[in-house]
Amino acid sequence: MNLKTIGYAVGITILAAACNQYRTQVTENGLKYQIFEHDDKARKAKLGDIMTFHFVLKNGSDSTLRDTYKEGTPQKMVLQAPQYKGSFEEGLALLATGDSAKITISADTLYAKIMQPMPPMIKKGSELSFTVKVVSILTTEEFQKEQSEAGTKQKAIEAKLIEDYLVKNNLKAKAVKTASGLYYIPEVEGTGPNPAPGDNIKAHYTGKLLDGKEFDSSKGKEPLQLTIGAGMVIPGWEEGLTLMKKGSKGVLIIPSGMAYGPETNGPIPGNSVLKFDMELLDVVKGQAQPAGAGAPPTR
Residue 6 within any structural domain of the chain: no
pTM (2 d.p.) = 0.65
184 annotated active-site: no
Q: Say how far apart CA 297 and CA 299 lie, in whole Å.
A: 6
Please write the tens of the pLDDT for every residue from 259-273: 998 888 889 998 999
Residue of 84, 108, 111, 216 with catalytic role = 216
Residue of 103, 234, 253, 268 with catalytic role = 234
Q: Provide the pLDDT for residue 10.
A: 46
Quickly state the pLDDT bin for 286 (edges 50, 70, 90). confident
Asked whether residue 250 falls in the same domain as residue 181, the answer is yes
Give me the CATH number covering residue 184: 3.10.50.40
Beta bridge partners of 34: 102
Asked whether residue 165 falls in the same domain as residue 134, the answer is no
- Boundary-marking domain end, from 138, 169, 204: 138
Quickly state the pLDDT bin for 278 (edges 50, 70, 90). very high
Asked whether residue 118 falls in the same domain as residue 96, the answer is yes
- Boundary-marking domain end, from 138, 163, 187: 138
Percent of the chain whose pLDDT exceeds 90 = 71
Higher pLDDT, 20 or 158: 158
55 annotated active-site: no
Asked whether residue 113 falls in the same domain as residue 228, the answer is no
Asked whether residue 28 falls in the same domain as residue 128, the answer is yes
Lowest mean pLDDT among 99-103, 112-116, 130-134, 184-188: 112-116
Burial of 182 (0-12, 13-18, 19+ CB in 10 A): buried
Q: Indicate if the pLDDT at residue 297 is higher than 90.
A: no
* 208 phi-psi bin (left φ>0, alpha ψ -120 to 50, beta other): beta
User: 185: domain range?
Assistant: 152-284
Residue 65 within any structural domain of the chain: yes
39 annotated active-site: no
49 annotated active-site: no
Residue 145 within any structural domain of the chain: no
Number of domains comprising the chain: 2
Q: Say how far apart CA 289 and CA 198 lie, in whole Å.
A: 9
Q: Provide the pLDDT for residue 190.
A: 93
Q: Provide the pLDDT for residue 101.
A: 95
Q: Provide the pLDDT for residue 235.
A: 94
Q: Indicate if the pLDDT at residue 19 is higher than 80.
A: no
Beta bridge partners of 191: 246
Residue of 183, 201, 276, 277 with catalytic role = 276
Q: Indicate if the pLDDT at residue 288 is higher than 50.
A: no
How distant, in Å, are the alpha carbons of 26, 106, 126, 127, 175 from that of 109? 16, 5, 10, 10, 55
Q: Indicate if the pLDDT at residue 4 is higher than 70.
A: no
Q: Provide the pLDDT for residue 2.
A: 52
Higher pLDDT, 188 or 5: 188
36 annotated active-site: no
Beta bridge partners of 50: 78, 138
Mean pLDDT, rounded, of the chain: 87
Asked whether residue 189 falls in the same domain as residue 257, the answer is yes
Please write the tens of the pLDDT for every residue from 58-85: 999 999 999 999 988 899 999 999 888 8
Q: Indicate if the pLDDT at residue 298 is higher than 50.
A: no
Residue 14 within any structural domain of the chain: no
Q: Provide the pLDDT for residue 284.
A: 93
Asked whether residue 34 falls in the same domain as residue 89, the answer is yes
Torsion over CA: 227, 231, 234, 239 (sign): positive
HEC readout, the chain: CCHHHHHHHHHHHHHHHHHHHHCCEECCCCCEEEEEECCCCCCECCCCCEEEEEEEEECCCCCEEEEHHHHCCCEEEECCCCCCCCCHHHHHCCCECCCEEEEEEEHHHHHHHHCCCCCCCCCCCCEEEEEEEEEEEECHHHHHHHHHHHHHHHHHHHHHHHHHHHHHCCCCCCCEECCCCCEEEEEECCECCCCCCCCEEEEEEEEEECCCCEEEECCCCCCEEEECCCCCCCHHHHHHHCCCCECCEEEEEECHHHCCCCCCECCECCCCCEEEEEEEEEEECCCCCCCCCECCCCC
Residue of 205, 253, 268, 277 with catalytic role = 205
Residue of 35, 108, 215, 282 with catalytic role = 215
Quickly state the pLDDT bin for 299 (edges 50, 70, 90). very low
111 annotated active-site: no
Average pLDDT score over residue span 157-185: 95
